[in-house]
A and B are shown apart, each in its own frame.
Chain A
């Protein structure tokens, strides 16, 4: 099957600062792929190159099997059949909600307010919103309308550039659900760019981690979280507990080849460190510090040998500082 979006060898630098260094990315048709990475890693540049707002120095972009950017080729944005949603939504301030949604449609359909109610419903808004002005909407509602506007012309690909980051925490989750559901219902291939790994892990079908202008790992969120290719990816997607490991004998397989003899470091997630008072504990440790977060508690522990590690346990089962607890490692290391 042709991918919904294929990016090959994309390069772009601004002045002497390279931003994209030969980036490759395949996005399967109909899926939501999240591109995550720290701020300034080139995510937005990638989206702008895919959208055709900017031209790369090298590389090709293919949308739905149709080449749109390549050597000597730069299809203008209006002929790429894309939808674009920005961080602030950028609803046209001189138009109503209906005027915004139908903006990309031919004049006759604009007059007939083609599919306005249907699209509003798709993004979870009442039809009554059609005649509101953008400033009469909350930030989350503006983002939903921005998505409806992007979907109205029936694009082959929707690009979301940090669409939830300007919303406060409460609105962010509900808006994200509404947007992800609407995209799933419409079956549109989507690229979501975000620096928020939790957002990426929870809403995407596929995850691509970007660093220094390239994609370092791509796959299902659950695989990336548990099987990151390196410590950087592991640390970006969640907290990491480093444990020194010694090899008496034998070897350990790692992504960089087998490790033999000597000492090494292995990493686990804090939720893999389970506190227990049962006899099957791996070691016993002393509780140094407790950070209560409500739903869970983070416990800092000192294990024999001066190893300090962090465990995450349910809020109602937290020990007290100074307690001695048993520690059990579950699952396999990263």
Chain B
């Protein structure tokens, strides 16, 4: 890309945008810096003393085993479902497309509470792997389905013409081409599993995240919790590095492809019924169980209640936080995305990448870091809505960033030049040309942040101002007390609020192909 120098100012980077972008990058780096600073303050001997315990070894084993098994299971389920839906003669493709992605609208902690209420004895590792797989396989399904749609079917035909049968063609031609999408999805699953709190707590399976939460509740802000967070951060970095390494080893040449025909679907024949049965079973387990539980709680539970005032106030709190979080995150992401696309350089790339770090860190680490840094440097912010919104921005910045980047890249920079030639200043160009053209992308990004905020539990529990109850925290407290009937309306409202965002996510991955 050609670097452009802003004509009127003479600066390569517009100073205001650069300043904001640097501040955003600094903010998103706070959690990492906090863990590092604590480790340095405690000293090597202290770190060893805090971490070298059988309890930590148990947590490490639990966490690693959960990530390995859960991620593998999500990959198998995600690929299988994506292939059946996208590349076979299975009838009812539009229905399956919606059903397979729908679990995204049901937060994992709602799903696990549902499972727990049906099968109270189903807990520990097997339950944790099963339930998190049912909640998170769409993170693999969506990108792999999009990648499958994007592969020119000529490749498979060529492979067949060269004497390679259908199964080996899948392994040698299709899989390598969907590998980046598959690995990207697997990374997301892994990070979600490392960060998962509610679902695992409900199923009584301890990982670093649940242990940090417990420790924080008992010994507010102790170095012990922070050092556990440090191990969690290291695990996140290992995952990130592992994915980067694996993707780096796949080289997919970009060569111009002509008009891509829709693929001729694989005939299932006698396999149609078992295949449809498998997908239906998946939908029942991932969607039917939690939704069925909610319905049965509403109908049969003795604790069922519709306290209108509280339902309204928690819905308003979730909506308000969601909207504020979406607006703040999009506004902070905009200058970073603009610099990364329009003034591409090592500096702007580093700034952009740093803003992804927060999203890779568990909510609990971010919350802990913001609490500590907040108390230390801006005590007035502690237990305020502003602090909570800041945490959301750090956690969900990439969701806005990805959409903003994509739309920005599609707007020809020539339009900026044309506007400038008509006597419009750079700030006005941003407001009058760039932002209006980006409306769709901004909207999508904001909707995705909104979805994430509405279903966020961990940092909301830790950071919400006293007295602020969201749908998620209220569901959590009621269901923890086994008041399922009282919890159900909150979960339903949460699903209603997050469904449009989940739908957008599905549609965006459809468009990602073109």
A-B contact count, CB below 8 Å?
93
How far apart sit A161 and B349, CA to CA, in the bound complex (Å)? 43
Interface members, chain B 216-256 (any A CB < 8 Å): 250-256
A77 touches B157 (CB 8 A): yes
Let me know if A94 and B251 touch, CB within 8 A. yes
Q: A90-B257, A91-B253 are in contact. Are A84 and B176 (CB under 8 A)?
A: no
CB distance from A278 to the nearest CB of B (A): 52
Output the least CB separation between B122 and chain A (Å): 41
B176 & A77 in contact (Cβ 8 Å cutoff): no
Picked from B162, B253, B255, B257, the residue with its CB within 8 Å of the CB of A149 is B162
Q: How far is the CB of A233 from chain B (nearest CB, A)?
A: 29
> In this complex, what residue of B is CB-closest to A132?
B253
Provide the residues of chain A in CB contact with B164, threshold 8 Å: 78, 103-104
- For residue B166, which residues in chain A have a CB less than 8 angstroms away from its CB? 76, 78
Is A196's CB within 8 Å of the partner chain B? no
The interface residues of chain A lying within 8 Å CB-to-CB of B264 are 53-54
Q: Which of A124-183 contact B (CB under 8 A)?
A: 133-136, 139, 142, 149-150, 152-153, 159, 166
Cβ of A153: which chain B residues have Cβ within 8 Å of it?
Answer: 162-163
Residues 38-96 of B at the A interface (beta carbon under 8 Å): none
A289 close to chain B: CB less than 8 A:
no
Q: How far is the CB of B252 from chain A (nearest CB, A)?
A: 5
Of residues 114 through 168 on chain B, the ones whose CB sits less than 8 Å from some CB of chain A are 152, 154-155, 157-166
A167–B159 alpha-carbon span in the complex (Å) = 23
A332 CA to B158 CA, complexed, in Å:
46
With an 8 A cutoff between CB atoms, is B258 at the interface?
yes
- Most chain A beta carbons < 10 A, residue from B161, B176, B179, B258: B161
**Cα(A104)–Cα(B154), bound, Å:** 15
**Is B305 at the interface (CB under 8 A from chain A)?**
no
Is B157 a contact partner of A84 (Cβ separation < 8 A)?
Answer: yes
Contact B165 A135 (CB under 8 A): no
The size bracket of the interface on B is 20 to 34
A78 touches B165 (CB 8 A): yes
Q: State whether the Cβ of A43 lies closer than 8 Å to any Cβ in chain B.
A: no
- Complex interface: chain A residues within 8 A of B257 (CB): 88, 90
Complex: A168 Cα to B173 Cα, angstroms? 29
Also in contact, A88 and B256, with CB within 8 A (given A53-B264, A133-B251): yes
A284 in contact (CB, < 8 A):
no
0 or 1 for each of A75-99: is its CB under 8 Å from B? (1 = yes) = 0111111111011111111110000
Is A51 part of the contact surface with B, judged by Cβ < 8 Å? yes
B177 within 8 A of A: yes
Chain B residue numbers with a CB within 8 Å of A81 are 163
Per the bound structure, the CA–CA distance linking A139 and B159 in Å amounts to 20
Do A104 and B162 touch (CB < 8 A)?
A: yes
Contact of B173 among A51, A76, A92, A152 (CB under 8 A): A92
Interface residues of B in 174-217 (CB under 8 A from A): 176-177, 179
User: Given A51-B157, A134-B253, do A88 and B258 touch, yes or no (CB 8 Å)?
Assistant: yes
* Complex Cα–Cα for A313 and B405 (A): 58
Contact indicator B154/A103 (Cβ below 8 Å): no
Query: Measured between alpha carbons, how far is A90 from B256 in the docked complex, in Å?
Result: 9
Closest-by-CB residue of B relative to A165 is B258
For residue A82, which residues in chain B have a CB less than 8 angstroms away from its CB?
A: 161
Give B250's nearest chain A residue, CB to CB. A94
Residues on A with C-beta less than 8 A from B155 are: 90, 92
Chain A minimum-CB-distance residue to B258: A88
Kindly provide the distance from the CB of A89 to the nearest chain B CB, expressed in whole angstroms.
8
A139 partner residues in chain B, CB cutoff 8 A: 256
Known: A53-B264, A77-B160, A84-B157. A90 touches B152 (CB 8 A): yes
Distance in angstroms from B169 CB to nearest chain A CB is: 8
Q: Report whether B160 and A53 are in contact in the complex, using a CB–CB cutoff of 8 Å.
A: yes
Q: Within 8 Å CB of A92, what residues of B?
A: 155, 158-159, 173, 176
Chain A contacts for B159, CB-based, 8 A: 78, 92, 103-104
Contacts of B152 in A (CB 8 A): 90
A81 to B164 Cα, complex, angstroms: 11
Contact partner of B252 (CB less than 8 A), chosen from A53, A83, A94, is A94
Contacting residues, chain B, for A53 (C-beta < 8 A): 157, 160-161, 264
Q: Most chain-B Cβ atoms within 10 A of its Cβ — which of A51, A52, A93, A149? A: A93
List B contacts of A166 (CB < 8 A). Answer: 256, 258
Q: Closest CB-CB distance, A203 to chain B, in whole Å?
A: 21
Beyond A93-B253, A93-B254, whether A86 also contacts B154 by CB under 8 A is yes
User: A38-96: which residues lie under 8 A (CB-CB) from chain B?
Assistant: 51-54, 76-84, 86-95
Chain A residues whose C-beta falls within 8 Å of the C-beta of B251 in the assembled complex = 94, 133
A170–B431 Cα distance when bound, in Å, is 47
Note all chain A residues with C-beta closer than 8 A to B176. 92, 94-95
> Which residue of chain A has the shortest Cβ distance to B254 in the bound complex?
A135
Q: Which residues of A contact B165 (CB under 8 A)?
A: 76, 78
Kindly identify which residue among B161, B252, B253, B258 contacts A51, using a CB–CB cutoff of 8 Å: B161
* Residue of A whose beta carbon sits closest to that of B165: A78
Set of chain A residues within 8 Å of B158, measured between Cβ atoms = 84, 86, 90, 92, 149
Q: In the docked arrangement, what's the CA distance between A239 and B389, Å?
A: 74
Shortest A5–chain B CB gap in Å is: 14
Select from chain B the residue with minimum beta-carbon distance to A139.
Answer: B256
A88 to B173, CA, bound (A): 17
**What is the minimal beta-carbon distance from B150 to any residue of chain A, in angstroms?**
12
Return chain B residues, CB-CB under 8 Å to A142.
255
How many whole Å from A217's CB to the nearest CB in chain B?
Answer: 29
Would you give the 0/1 interface string for B250-276, flagging 1 where the beta carbon is closer than 8 Å to chain A? Answer: 111111111000001000000000000
A81 to B161, CA, bound (A): 7
Interface residues of B in 299-321 (CB under 8 A from A): none
CA distance A142 to B253 in the complex (A): 12
Residue from the list B154, B160, B173, B252 in contact with A78, Cβ < 8 A: B160
Question: How far does the alpha carbon of A93 sit from the alpha carbon of B173 in the complex, in Å?
Answer: 9
Partner of B163, one of A51, A95, A104, A134: A104
A78 touches B161 (CB 8 A): yes
A90's closest neighbor in chain B, by CB? B154
User: Are A93 and B255 touching (Cβ within 8 A)?
Assistant: yes
Q: How far is the CA of A87 from the CA of B152 in the complex (A)?
A: 12
Residue of A83, A91, A134, A135 touching B161 (CB-CB under 8 A): A83
The reply to whether A80 and B161 contact each other, CB–CB distance below 8 Å, is yes
* Smallest CB separation, B493 vs chain A (Å): 46
Contact assessment for A91 and B252 in the assembled complex, using a CB-CB cutoff below 8 Å: no
CB distance A91 to B255 under 8 Å?
A: yes
Interface centre among B166, B173, B252 (most CB of A within 10 A): B252
* CA gap between A52 and B160 in the complex, in Å: 9
Q: Which residues of B contact A93 (CB under 8 A)?
A: 177, 252-255
Q: Which residues of A contact B255 (CB under 8 A)?
A: 88-89, 91, 93, 134-135, 142
Q: With a CB–CB cut-off of 8 A, which chain B residues contact A135?
A: 253-255
Is the Cβ of B253 less than 8 Å from the Cβ of A78? no
CA distance A54 to B154 in the complex (A): 13
Residue of B nearest to A82 (CB): B161
Residues on B facing A (Cβ under 8 Å):
152, 154-155, 157-166, 172-173, 176-177, 179, 250-258, 264
Q: What are 14 inter-chain pairs, A to B, with CB distance below 8 A?
A: A53-B161, A53-B264, A76-B160, A78-B162, A78-B164, A84-B157, A88-B256, A90-B152, A91-B253, A94-B251, A103-B159, A103-B164, A104-B162, A152-B162
Given A92-B158, A136-B253, 4 other A-B residues pairs in contact with their CB atoms under 8 A: A76-B165, A82-B161, A88-B154, A94-B250
What residues of chain A have their CB less than 8 Å away from a CB belonging to chain B?
51-54, 76-84, 86-95, 103-104, 133-136, 139, 142, 149-150, 152-153, 159, 166
Q: Pick the 9 closest A-B CB pairs, nearest first.
A: A104-B162, A135-B253, A77-B160, A84-B161, A94-B176, A93-B253, A134-B253, A90-B154, A93-B252
